[in-house]
Amino acid sequence: MPETSPRIDRLLHDLSADGAPVLAEFWREVADRGTPLVERVDSDSALVTFLWRGEAAQTSTGWGINLPLRRVPGTDVWHGSERLPLDLHTIYFLRHGATDLPTDATGRGPTHLDPLNHHPFRFPADPADPNDRELWASLLELPRAPDDPWSRPRPGVPRGTLLSASVRTTAWGGRRRVAVYRPAAAADGPLPLLVVFDGYLARALLRVPTTLDNLIAAGRIPPTMALFVTASSGTRRIDELRPSAALRAFVTRDLLPWARRRWPVTDDPARRVVAGSSLGGLAAAYVALAEPGAFGAVIAQSGSFWWPASAEPAEREWLTRAYAGWPAAPVRFYLDVGDRENTCPRPGQLDQLSVSRRFRDLLVARGHQVSYAEYRGGHDYVNWRRTFADGLRTVLGAGRREPAPPGRTT
């Protein structure tokens, strides 16, 4: 039988005796304490209770936590409890029959952040994209959540420079926006190159430039140049980042030659990295495997290796099936995925955790050097922000270890 919150049990007991005054005191306490409630902590987990105050036909949490809430009869109290690991770090929001991420911080609407959570999480809108929208959620960080030491600015660390540019593309037509990061530290010879998809969020939300600053200053990676490629929002992003000849041509015929003409970047594929999260992770892996000699390393965080979302089993996990029949490419990988990405978000789509494991297994079987991790959380920018540094240290680290023997996962 599921555990119940001790605080909710006490509320139910007190309501039977004192009624409305007890309820008012409960909400004052919760507003001061903040939500969710963390109770019954043991050696590795805690009972976490999510709360909402209001009127609705149904209420549940969404994103990293999927939990139905139930109403205390005759009150405005909705609650749901789940035992969760003490090192969990994720985001969530409240929903009332809808599924989209909240678009403001008011705490109102069919989906909204948790108004009693003191730690809102903002997805900034790209100011250069009129179709992009600001989104919001709430942060859940349990007591043993791992620290994020690399993505915060550090005193005394020189900051690289960022400049805005655009690349003319024959592959897609027109121009594409690119932000160029140049490290503060001097380099001996050509610079390693990092290409990151979903460039605006990688800069603004994942804080990749700050992570690069810190890792370079600490000597964990060499001075590295980065190109942040920004795709438009909505269906255009999906069209451009899905596996296609146009995506390969943009990166290899438009972007890389453009960068080499302007900056002292390496011609050595082993020192070029392509990276992305979610659909961007799929795009990164696809380009590296479909264009041998373009990149020597991939960072793919929760890569959409389920693609395409099809009801036909023969079409699912296209890249995993396709690469099984291609010549092996000399590419090393850093892959990670959340251990809570184990549900199917929509009909016909496979869960992220399973497809990531199968893609990893194929890479290992084909002799790739693979560093693979399952972090505690969901499809989470809060975790990708932290683990991007792990990816950089793995594939670019100044003291990067020799490739593992074929078939070994590290």
Of the candidates 220, 203, 202, 215, the one whose C-alpha atom is nearest the C-alpha of residue 157 is 215
Other Cβ atoms less than 10 A from the Cβ of 373: the count is: 16
Q: Which two tokens stand for residue 327?
A: 């010549």
Can you give the pLDDT at residue 404? 36
Is a pLDDT exceeding 90 seen at residue 312? no
The reported pLDDT for the residue numbered 406 is 35
Cis peptide before 36 (omega within 30 of 0): yes
pLDDT the model gives residue 35: 98
Is the pLDDT confidence value at 401 over 50?
no
- pLDDT above 70 covers a percentage of the chain that reads 95
Say how far apart CA 176 and CA 46 lie, in whole Å. Answer: 47
pLDDT in tens, 184-231: 988 888 999 999 999 999 999 999 999 999 999 999 999 999 999 987
Cross-strand pairs, 227: 180, 195
If pLDDT is split at 50, 70 and 90, which confidence band does 344 have?
Answer: confident
Q: List pLDDT tens digits, range 49-63.
A: 999 999 999 999 999
Q: Is the pLDDT of residue 409 over 50?
A: no
According to the model, what pLDDT value does residue 349 have? 73
* pLDDT on residue 398: 62
What is the per-residue pLDDT across 131-173, written as a single tens digit (0 to 9) for each? Answer: 889 999 999 999 999 999 999 999 999 999 999 999 999 998 8
pLDDT, tens digit, 9 for 90 and up, residues 21-36: 899 999 999 999 999 9
Q: Return all residues near 180 (Cβ < 8 A) that are at least 6 apart.
A: 162, 163, 164, 165, 225, 226, 227, 228, 259, 263
List helix spans (H) across 180-312. Answer: 199-204, 208-217, 235-241, 245-249, 256-262, 279-290
User: Residue 343: its pLDDT value, please?
Assistant: 83
